[in-house]
Homo-oligomer: A and B are copies of this chain.
Amino acid sequence: MPLYRISSEEGVLSPADREELAKRISELHLRLAGGVRGFVNVTFDTYRRGDVYIGGKIASPISLTGIIRTGRTHEVKLAMVKALQDTFVEVTGLSPANLTVGLTEASPKYAMIGGVVVPEVGEEEAWLKTEGAAFASA
């Protein structure tokens, strides 16, 4: 975690859009929420025309969703949602009309990465010096 996922119809996002979004989302996450660079996953998936309906009609929405560790403040999470949307619009030049952005939280208590249990928010520094040493330079 965080696990960001951007879902769009085939052909909507160019390879350059994707690369830039992955970089920018990683940076904004680390800047606003802290955490560890090697944790920030951004996955792109696409659907075919006709696979998604809105209000009963075929449509082409884009969703940008993130699962983050529990423990950030309301202010941080709201700032993250807005920054995710602004970044998406800035990078792609697309209107936000068809875009949904959402964050949900999950406990790191029952999550392991690279063979060790994921640290709680705020405990990353100690973790990087001990169990998480492999992530210190990642």
Contact = CB atoms under 8 A, between A and B. Distances in A.
A18 B56 CA distance: 10
A27 B53 CA distance: 13
Chain multiplicity (copies): 3
A42 B50 CA distance: 11
Given A22-B53, A52-B42, A53-B41, A99 B114 contact: yes
Contacts of A106: 102, 104
Contacts of A103: 110-111
Contact of A40 (B26, B42, B56): B56
Interface of A: 1, 3, 15, 18-19, 22-23, 26-27, 37-45, 47, 50-57, 61, 63, 74, 77-78, 80-82, 85, 96-104, 106, 109-115, 117, 134, 138
